[in-house]
């Protein structure tokens, strides 16, 4: 057998193996047809190596009972949802004109995401990192029983050290401390950074850790949630991670504009439930019953209705994306969106276009500077499409905009961790608080209007003047948008 025959044989074997891998990993998984074709192209043009790329970036999670709930636990959750549908939902929705107006959305969130409705909440809004973290540290320092904390990014810088030391002090004082972080998001932070906390009795878990911190087969499926629950009576939820840049101390980004909520009321229990599921999954264990965690049982004096809606690759349904679409299609007057990335799918774009064609004032605020160049130029491509339909696109110029909010008709709003992109829609674990309260919605609406004062408008004329090079970058980035 000559060299040519050997090469031909190797190529034939490679093609056969590649085809078998292609069939095995793609056609036996349920996925969006667009993603299927994308991976077919990868594996055709990069034989064998494409399979290994798929292992790192393309695999779906096993969605059946991802959180390893027992039959009893699943029945308890279903019973709570049924109780809401038969009693709480009926009583609250029928008594409140605003809840009645958004009854279909509340019902959808209940059925789709087990998002229970609570109506006794108080909310404080933070749009500045210094105020948010000063409040958070003070609440941690006052903790008496338990602190549960979860962030996508925890940096080992001054702010990260300040937070760790506050948690360590509480752990030394006998407070139960549990900290969960995402390893890919916190890749710059070495595990030994938390040694003092562990030595004090605090527990630390990593979500989807890497193999020897070098290889991670879940690069695309990250836990992007940012939650803190203190003594079962105070919770924080929103867009801020932990690091000096979130205090505006990074020269590259300057001032960091984000939005976070401090919540008191029954919604805290629902946020706690999200943490518990992630905590048990990260630790790969089921230590005891759920009631080992602190739940504050005193009735709160608030009056704000909230649902805590979560979404992730553990579910076929894109709960948070659907919630946003439902909100947009319910709008009569206005839809104000703030997001660092705007790379929606067709269904989201169609919802925005329908709202615009219906005469709704749709405004989308994005950063004027990129933190990820491809993502930034893909964002420009998509907002450019909406300009033709009458959308107002604002470019935030007072630093970096990282807020993830939507306000509809100045009466209902959502604040959380979801960006407007495919990664947040179905790859990452995300969470948002949807608030049915005109006062809160007007506050967030007002913050948007205040941010307009330090923003410029991307008009159709300005967009048409962009250079050929920018158009080229937009085209390439848009082509890559499904995997950005």
Choosing from 270, 404, 426, 473, the catalytic residue is 404
Closest C-alpha to 128, from 238, 215, 35: 238
Per residue in 376-408, is it b (16+ CB within 10 Å) or e — as a string? bbbbbbbbbebbeeebbbbbbeebbbbbbbbbb
224 is catalytic: yes
Choosing from 269, 402, 445, 473, the catalytic residue is 402
319 is catalytic: no
Pairwise CA distance, residues 69 & 63, whole Å: 12
402 is catalytic: yes
Closest C-alpha to 320, from 305, 330, 309: 309
Choosing from 176, 224, 266, 353, the catalytic residue is 224
Choosing from 127, 409, 421, 451, the catalytic residue is 409
Choosing from 231, 278, 345, 421, the catalytic residue is 231
Per residue in 117-146, is it b (16+ CB within 10 Å) or e — as a string? bbbbbbbbbbbbbeebbebbbebbeebeeb
409 is catalytic: yes
Choosing from 102, 176, 226, 473, the catalytic residue is 226
Distance of alpha carbon 143 from its chain centroid, rounded? 27
> Dihedral sign, CA of 338, 344, 347, 352?
positive
From residue 217, how far is each of 209, 223, 252 by CA, in Å? 9, 14, 31
Pairwise CA distance, residues 221 & 425, whole Å: 11
What is the DSSP pairing of strand 392-396 with strand 361-367? parallel
471 is catalytic: no
Catalytic residue list:
224, 226, 231, 402, 404, 409
């Amino acid at each position: 057998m000559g060299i040519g025959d050997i090469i031909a044989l190797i190529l034939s074997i490679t093609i056969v193996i590649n085809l078998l891998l292609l069939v095995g990993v793609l056609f036996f998984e349920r996925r969006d047809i667009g993603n299927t074709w994308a991976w077919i192209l990868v594996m055709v043009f990069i034989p064998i190596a494409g399979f290994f790329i798929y292992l790192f970036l393309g695999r779906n999670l096993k969605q059946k009972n991802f959180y390893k709930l027992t039959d009893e636990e699943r029945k308890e959750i279903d019973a709570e949802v049924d109780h809401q549908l038969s009693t709480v939902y009926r009583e609250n929705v029928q008594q409140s004109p605003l809840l009645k107006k958004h009854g279909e959305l509340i019902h959808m969130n209940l059925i789709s995401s087990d998002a229970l409705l609570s109506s006794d909440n108080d909310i404080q809004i933070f749009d500045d990192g210094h105020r948010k973290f000063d409040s958070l540290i003070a609440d941690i320092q006052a903790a008496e029983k338990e602190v549960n904390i979860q962030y996508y990014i925890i940096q080992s810088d001054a702010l990260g050290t300040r937070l760790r030391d506050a948690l360590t002090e509480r752990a030394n004082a006998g407070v139960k401390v549990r900290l969960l972080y995402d390893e890919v998001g916190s890749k710059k932070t070495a595990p030994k950074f938390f040694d003092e906390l562990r030595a004090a009795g605090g527990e630390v878990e990593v979500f989807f850790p890497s193999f020897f911190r070098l290889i991670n087969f879940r690069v695309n499926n990250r836990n992007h949630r940012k939650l803190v629950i203190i003594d079962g009576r105070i919770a924080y939820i929103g867009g801020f991670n932990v690091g000096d840049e979130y205090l505006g101390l990074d020269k590259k980004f300057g001032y960091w504009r984000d939005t976070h909520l401090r919540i008191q009321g029954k919604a805290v229990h629902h946020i706690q439930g999200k943490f518990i599921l992630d905590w048990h999954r990260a630790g790969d264990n089921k230590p005891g019953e759920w009631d080992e965690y602190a739940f504050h049982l005193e009735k709160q004096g608030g009056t704000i209705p909230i649902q805590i809606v979560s979404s992730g690759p553990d579910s076929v349904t894109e709960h948070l994306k659907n919630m946003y679409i439902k909100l947009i299609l319910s709008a009569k007057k206005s839809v104000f969106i703030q997001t660092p990335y705007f790379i929606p799918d067709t269904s989201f774009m169609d919802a925005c276009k329908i709202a615009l064609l219906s005469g709704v004032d749709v405004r989308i605020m994005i950063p004027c500077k990129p933190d990820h160049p491809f993502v930034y130029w893909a964002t420009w491509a998509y907002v450019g499409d909406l300009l033709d339909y009458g959308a107002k696109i604002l470019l935030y110029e007072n630093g970096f905009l990282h807020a993830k909010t939507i306000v509809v008709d100045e009466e209902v709003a959502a604040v959380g961790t979801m960006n407007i992109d495919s990664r947040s829609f179905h790859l990452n674990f995300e969470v948002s608080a949807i608030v049915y309260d005109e006062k809160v919605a007007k506050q967030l609406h007002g913050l948007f209007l205040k941010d307009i004062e330090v923003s410029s408008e991307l008009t159709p004329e300005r967009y048409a003047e962009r250079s050929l090079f920018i158009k080229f970058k937009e085209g390439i980035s848009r082509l890559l948008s499904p995997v950005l």
